[in-house]
Amino acid sequence: MSSTNSSGDPAAVRVVGGWASPFVNRVVVALKLKGVEHEMLQETVGKKSELLLRSNPVHKKIPVLLHHGKPIAESLIIVEYIDEVWPASNGAPSILPRDPYGRAVERFWAKYIDDKIPPGIRVLRGSVEEDKDKAAGEMSTALQHLEEAFVKCSQGKQYFGGDNIGYLDIALGSFLGWIRAVEKIAGVELLNETKVPNLAAWADRFCAHPAVVDVVPDADRLVEFTVQHAALLRAVNVPNCAQTSIYRRLCLCLPHLLELDQPADVRHGLLGGVELLLFLGHIE
Ligand SMILES: N[C@@H](CCC(=O)N[C@@H](CS)C(=O)NCC(=O)O)C(=O)O
């Protein structure tokens, strides 16, 4: 659960999310930028809540923003909604540019980011079985284009949005933890200071911003998350496993294993149990 100042009733704004999701982090950064008080409802990995299924019945994905109980899904749509409902005031910046052309340009690049970055991350973290070299090459090309976009949009200032974080900063910045994590997991260089110097310097500035620093997780935490998630998927992904007592035991430990507040030694202990079952051949 988290909250920031302003806007009165804490239940007025709730986010159905999860700490490791870059899409959720977009919403949280936007709310923090605007100083909007909100409540985080953390979903458990591997188990969708009734609230999520009810609030986003089409995609069943996080994030969902609940504003006075009304659900809004899709991270970029939510960010635009936040910008409209809480317009620039008292130091809270505007997220999208004011002029229609500027908005069109930023929406173009935000769509490009969503088309290119998440699929590459999925391959490089190993959740999709595809050619990793090809994925790394495609991500590097995308980052090269985004380096050029940064130079044009920022016009010599600190962020895509100029003097403050804007729409494209949020759209791309939410992936920075994962980009750095997959660099470690796959042993590739993506945000390379030689190839994309402006983007590399922007990435450090973005992650240090007060609206971001506690939101976008660091690479090591995401690497640990990836290892645990992969072990669980291996464990539960066996034919007829739902009939087995092992599966039932995994279902008991799975919701706890990846939770944010679980101490690392407890998570490691549970993971060790899963690995031992794998080793003993109870599950493949
Ligand atoms: N286009 C969506 C993507 C959301 C998304 O992929 N969320 C992931 C978590 S990072 C999710 O809920 N996955 C669960 C699933 O696919 O069933 C957005 O921008 O909000």
Does 46 lie in the same domain as 134?
no
Atom 1 of ligand 1: nearest residue by CA position: 74
Comparing CA positions, the residue from 92, 65, 73, 86 lying closest to residue 11 is 65
Which residues lie closer than 8 Å to 269 by C-beta, 6 or more apart? none
Do 81 and 107 reside in the same domain of the chain?
no
Residue 39, in any domain of the structure: yes
Q: How confident is the model at residue 278 (pLDDT cuts 50, 70, 90)?
A: low
Between 254 and 68, the more confident residue is 68
Residues with CB under 6 Å of ligand 1 are 21, 23, 60-63, 74-76
Last residue of a domain, one of 179, 208, 237: 208
Question: Number of structural domains, the chain?
Answer: 3
Domain boundary among 208, 238, 257: 208
Identify whether the C-beta of residue 154 lies closer than 8 Å to the C-beta of residue 205: no
pLDDT band at 230 (very low <50, low <70, confident <90, very high): confident
The reply to whether 105 and 21 lie within a common domain is no
Q: Which atom of ligand 1 is closest in space to residue 60's alpha carbon?
A: 17
pLDDT band for 82, please (50, 70, 90 cuts): very high
Atom of ligand 1 nearest to the CA of 63: 20
Please check whether residues 140 and 61 belong to one and the same domain. Answer: no
CATH number at residue 137: 1.20.1050.10
Q: How far is the CA of 119 from the centre of ligand 1 (A)?
A: 12
Same domain for 116 and 156, yes or no, is: yes
Q: Note whether 271 and 199 are same-domain residues.
A: no
54 and 117 inside one domain: no
Sequential DSSP letters for 213-229: TTTSPPHHHHHHHHHHH
Q: Residue 269 CA to chain centroid, in angstroms?
A: 26
Percent of the residues in the chain that have a pLDDT greater than 70, as a whole number: 78
- Are 146 and 179 in the same domain? yes
- Short-list 132, 138, 143, 136, CA closest to 176: 143
Decide if 216 contacts 176 (C-beta within 8 A): yes
* Domain boundaries, position 240: 223-279
Is residue 3 in some structural domain?
A: no
Q: Are residues 175 and 273 in the same domain?
A: no
Is residue 216 a part of any domain in this protein?
no
Ligand 1: distance of its center to the CA of 166 in Å?
22
Report the C-alpha gap between 184 and 198 in whole angstroms: 21
- Is the pLDDT higher at 137 or at 256? 137
